Each structure stands twice: as structure tokens, then as C-alpha cells.
A = this chain, B = another copy of it.
Amino acid sequence: MVNKVKLNDSNSTRVPAGALQQQLSSIFRGVGTPEDDAKVAAKVLVSASVRGVDTHGVANVVGYSKNVEDGVYTVPQKTEVLSESETTALVSGGNGIGLVSAYRAMEMAIEKAKKQGLGMVSIKDGHHVGMVAYYAMMALEHDMIGMSMTTAAPAVRPALGAKKMMGTNPIGFAAPAGEERDFVLDMATSTVASGKVALARRIGVPIPAGWAVTSEGEAITEPPAGENETWALNPLGNNREQGSHKGYGLSVMVDILCGVLSGGGFSSQLARGENMSWVMAIDIGRFRDIDEFKSMMDDMIRELHATPTLPGEDRVMVAGDPEADATDDRLANGVPVENGQYAAIREQAVELGVEVVI
């Protein structure tokens, strides 16, 4: 089964997270990003790599910084507030680096939630935000629940439909635990994220029936060569009998909160590389004592962990567990960066004339 490329000593290089942070910041600065924004963009990418979400990790600095060089991303960027109330804001990401716009938007949502209990920001004129749960997770250190969503150009078909109309439109949700690990959900509303199909093609393995279909509705098992009109990802649930209207419905919900509420446009109005986003922060203390909340989270997580497994399975996990496992390993032993990507990051640093520190 396609999961991820197993990184090991022969195909990757372990780099301390701090060095990656420094290297990525300097690359972003090297293309003209102001220091604060460069640090933010680096932090979001390094966090994804530390959490084992390599598809959204440090290697993306190369493409993002080239997008800045090519004028696709505007820097210095301005997160412009187009309308605002004490609890809400509509902001323009100013076509800057998406990571920075979403980060600034979540900072605003958290500030609003500190004052008013809730904060919500919808973001237009945006680009790729990376690992969407990052922004939801920003709420955790403030004893808040965070939620985040983002859209993209079409890759997924509606239930009963034969043409891609929605992005993989992922949802992030984070809630703090006490002694246990925080609950962090990060899920595409399609059966799989686009990256998994691309990965299967790259490593030359078939994909399971249920992930994608041709425009005739036939299951695809040989991973297609890139995006085109001859195939589409399935919405979560795959087919009518197994609930494809649910994944479809969730993806449109994401489009409404990110694209329609912001006015930036729904998936099928977006060009590749355009992404609308939405974030929310909820101050738990307005509802109940935070320690009691966390203690009940711990109880729930322990009960879920203690669930008997299906035959052949090791353990029942809770959302965020695989990423927390990766974090434990990678903070202790360094972040493995695939050798080709490692070289590309260094090369980009050299080309920009910034110090190579990895």
C-alpha cells in the first residue's frame, strides 16, 4: 500500500530542525521576504517535516521561493483586512506566500478569541498554505480549539459526477489534551490527497481501486501522470453505497467557508496555485475550566487507545499520533530530508547567494 516513502540512511540525510529553520528562513529572505515573514514561512514548513508530513515539508521551500522569484507570489506581502468585526475578519492574502497569510490570519483569530471567546477569519487572494492543521494547532498553546480549512483548484469529482470540480479541500482541527498528546486532525475530504497518487507514480506502485476514477467512472489502479481531465480523485466515501455524498458535502462546506465567504471563489473558479482559506479559534475557558476540559480529553484519548484492535493491527491510534511519533523521533535524531530534495534546497541557497547551513 502506498503510504509514504520510507526515508532511511541511504536515501536521506538527517538535519537538525534548527538548521532547517535557519536555512529556509535565509532562502525566503534571499528572495526578498521580510525577516519576520521568512521566519514564519520556514517555521510552518519545518513543522510539517518534523511531524513527518514530508509532502508539505521543507522541500517546498524551493518551489515557493521560485514562485517569489517568478512573481507568482508577491513579497513583501501585506495581509490586508477588507472587513472586520470584533470576532470576524475577511482578509486578502495579497497574493503573497500562503503560509504567511494563513499564519497572520490565525494570529488575528486567536487575538479575537482572547477578547471575545471566538475568532474567525476567511482569507482570499491566497496561495498554498502547506499542512493545513498547522494553523489549527496554533490555538493549542492558548488553551483554545483551532480549526482551519483550505481549498484548491479541482482534483476531486462530486458524488455521481464524472469530472473534477473541487479541490482536495482539507480540514484541520486541533484540541488540547493534558497529559496525553493533543488531538490533531488533518484530512483531505477526498479519499486520498493528490500527493499520494503522485507518490505512487514516482515510486512505481499501483494505487488501490477507490482512490481515483476515469471520466467513464472506471477505477484507476495505475497512477496517472499528473493532473488532467481524464481522471479525478474520489470524494471520501468513494461511491454512493459507501457515502461519497459525505466526502463531497464536506468538500463543498470547505469551499463555502474559504471561497464563498471570502469572495475569493470556489474550487472550480480557482487557477492551479490559488488557494482560499479559513481559520477559527475557540477559547475553551469561556465554556468550562480548562483543566477539566483537558482531563476529559485525556480520559477520552486513553479509552480510544485502549480499544481492542482488529485482527492483525498493532494499536488504535488517535488523530495526531503518527505525527507525534514522528516528532519524537525527528526532534531527537534530526529531520530526514530525501537526498534529492536536500541537494535542491542547498542548490537554491547557493543560487541565491545565501549561506548554506545544512
Query: Given the known A-B contacts A117-B87, A317-B160, are A261 and B247 also in contact in the complex, defined by CB atoms under 8 Å?
Result: no
Q: Given B162, B237, B257, B265, which contacts A191 in the complex, CB threshold below 8 Å?
A: B237
A106 at the interface (CB under 8 A from B): no
Q: CB-nearest residue of chain B relative to A267?
A: B300
Task: Report the minimum CB–CB distance from A75 to chain B (whole Å).
Answer: 26
Q: CB-nearest residue of chain B relative to A116?
A: B87
In the complex, what distance in Å separates the CA atom of A256 from the CA atom of B246? 20
Q: Given B246, B265, B300, B316, which contacts A260 in the complex, CB threshold below 8 Å?
A: B300
Mark A161-193 against chain B: 1 for CB-CB distance below 8 A, else 0: 111010000000101000000010101110110
A282: which B residues are within 8 A, CB to CB?
A: 88, 120, 261
Task: Report the minimum CB–CB distance from A344 to chain B (whole Å).
Answer: 31
Task: Report the minimum CB–CB distance from A205 to chain B (whole Å).
Answer: 13
Residue of A116, A257, A260, A300 contacting most chain B CB atoms (<10 Å) = A260
A10: which B residues are within 8 A, CB to CB?
A: none
Which chain A residues numbered 289 to 322 have a C-beta less than 8 Å away from chain B?
A: 292-293, 296-297, 299-300, 303-304, 307-311, 313, 315-319
Give the number of chain A interface residues (Cβ < 8 Å). Answer: 88
Task: Report the minimum CB–CB distance from A223 to chain B (whole Å).
Answer: 15
A228 at the interface (CB under 8 A from B): no
A158 at the interface (CB under 8 A from B): yes
A242: which B residues are within 8 A, CB to CB?
A: 191, 208, 210, 238, 242
Task: Report the minimum CB–CB distance from A230 to chain B (whole Å).
Answer: 13
Task: Report the minimum CB–CB distance from A324 to chain B (whole Å).
Answer: 14
Assess whether A236 is in contact with B246, with CB atoms less than 8 Å apart.
yes
A1 at the interface (CB under 8 A from B): yes
Task: Report the minimum CB–CB distance from A298 to chain B (whole Å).
Answer: 10
Assess whether B162 is in contact with A310, with CB atoms less than 8 Å apart.
yes
In the complex, what distance in Å separates the CA atom of A117 from the CA atom of B118? 10
Residue of A188, A213, A246, A263 contacting most chain B CB atoms (<10 Å) = A246
Assess whether B245 is in contact with A236, with CB atoms less than 8 Å apart.
no
Assess whether A313 is in contact with B261, with CB atoms less than 8 Å apart.
no
Mark A77-90 against chain B: 1 for CB-CB distance below 8 A, else 0: 00000010111101
Which chain A residues numbered 4 to 30 have a C-beta less than 8 Å away from chain B?
A: none
User: 6 more A-B contacts (CB under 8 A) besides A118-B120, A187-B250, A191-B243?
Assistant: A88-B283, A90-B288, A162-B307, A185-B253, A187-B243, A236-B237
